[in-house]
């Protein structure tokens, strides 16, 4: 951490994380003054890989008529969203620590809420398409490109797990991005297994089932963002989501660090 930010990491500094001036200090919160240069470079590199491959995976999925491959491309976009949130939260944290702005936390809560609603809408669209595929399984699936593309995705996500594992000195930024990549690694394995099942046993319904599972992963990433950001906008602190297990996937500094600052009820409440 830069020495110039040491003084700013005093727990009392977090007083400005509220929509009003009546905020309790949060001494229990660990200091997260943004990612260091090495972490930002790692995230930037992986973000480029994820965005590039998501486009390729979507195109191959369209060509091979594979909804699960297209769904996995959408899931990789959620990875990109988590990484983008990590980078933006790091920048915003440093900016607000240097120059506190009263309305900044509310803007961040709105951004997190929009992101969460967008992810939930994507999960709903994939679920609808997957249900249609389950009712009328396609028979024109081309399993070869599915397996090849999913193997490349498996390699990229494996690289991401190696890149992000144990990095960031406990930062929730990297932790949230890491959990997203682990979930996408699992979905890539599922696409490979599903493609082999379709190629060997003609079980074309597997494509729709895999798409539903991927939609669940995307939706589980959206719920924590929506829950905590809406709670912040309503003027109360949402409870800790650790008990929700895999739903904690979507937590980053935007939804767990800034939005978890205790807020006193105003006199008008």
| Residue numbers of the domain that contains 234 | 33-257
CB 211 within 8 A of CB 237: no
Q: Measuring CA to CA, how many Å separate 234 from each of 21, 110, 269?
A: 16, 11, 11
Number of C-beta neighbours around residue 13 at 10 A: 18
Sequence-distant (6+) residues with CB within 8 A of 9 are 1, 31, 33, 97
Domain assignment present for residue 160? The answer is yes
Q: Hey, what are 137's tokens?
A: 């399984």
- Give per-residue pLDDT as tens, 201-252: 888 888 889 999 988 888 887 787 787 778 777 775 544 443 333 344 444 4
Q: 5-19, 85-99, 180-194, 227-241: lowest mean pLDDT where?
A: 5-19
- pLDDT for 2 equals 46
CB 99 within 8 A of CB 108: no
Domain assignment present for residue 101? The answer is yes
Domain assignment present for residue 218? The answer is yes
What's the mean pLDDT in 16-32? Answer: 36
CATH classification of the domain holding 70: 1.20.1510.10
Total structural domains in the chain?
A: 1
- pLDDT for 224 equals 77
Work out the end-to-end distance of the chain between its first and last CA atoms, rounded to an integer number of angstroms.
39
- pLDDT for 49 equals 92
Domain assignment present for residue 269? The answer is no
Domain assignment present for residue 263? The answer is no
Domain assignment present for residue 17? The answer is no
Domain assignment present for residue 7? The answer is no
Instruction: Please give the full DSSP string across 243-263, using - where no structure is assigned.
Output: GGGGGGGG--IIIIISTTS--
Give residue 220's Cα distance to chain centre. 9
Domain assignment present for residue 15? The answer is no
Q: What is the CA radius of gyration of the chain?
A: 20
**Phi-psi map region of 165: left, alpha, beta (phi>0 left; psi -120 to 50 alpha):** beta
Q: Hey, what are 253's tokens?
A: 């500094």
Res 88 pLDDT > 50:
yes
């Amino acid at each position: 951490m830069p020495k110039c930010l040491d003084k700013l990491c005093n727990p009392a500094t977090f007083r400005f994380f509220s929509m009003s001036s009546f905020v309790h200090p949060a001494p229990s919160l660990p200091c997260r003054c943004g990612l260091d240069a090495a972490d930002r470079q790692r995230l930037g590199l992986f973000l480029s890989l994820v965005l590039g491959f998501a486009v390729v995976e979507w195109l191959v999925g369209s060509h091979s008529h594979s909804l699960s491959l297209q769904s996995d491309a959408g899931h990789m976009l959620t990875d990109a969203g988590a990484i983008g949130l990590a980078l933006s939260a790091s920048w915003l944290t440093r900016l607000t620590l240097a120059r506190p702005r009263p309305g900044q936390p509310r803007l961040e809560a709105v951004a997190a809420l929009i992101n969460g609603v967008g992810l939930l809408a994507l999960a709903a669209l994939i679920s609808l398409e997957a249900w249609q595929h389950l009712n009328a399984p396609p028979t024109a699936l081309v399993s070869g490109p599915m397996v090849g593309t999913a193997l490349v995705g498996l390699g990229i996500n494996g690289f991401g797990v190696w890149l992000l594992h144990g990095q960031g000195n406990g930062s929730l930024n990297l932790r949230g991005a890491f959990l997203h990549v682990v979930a996408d690694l699992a979905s890539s394995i599922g696409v490979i297994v599903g493609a082999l099942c379709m190629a060997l046993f003609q079980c074309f319904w597997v494509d729709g089932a895999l798409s539903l599972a991927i939609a669940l992963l995307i939706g589980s990433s959206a719920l924590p963002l929506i829950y905590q950001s809406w709670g912040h906008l309503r003027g109360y602190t949402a409870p800790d989501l650790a008990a929700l297990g895999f739903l904690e996937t979507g937590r980053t500094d935007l939804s767990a660090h800034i939005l978890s600052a205790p807020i006193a009820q105003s006199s008008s409440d």
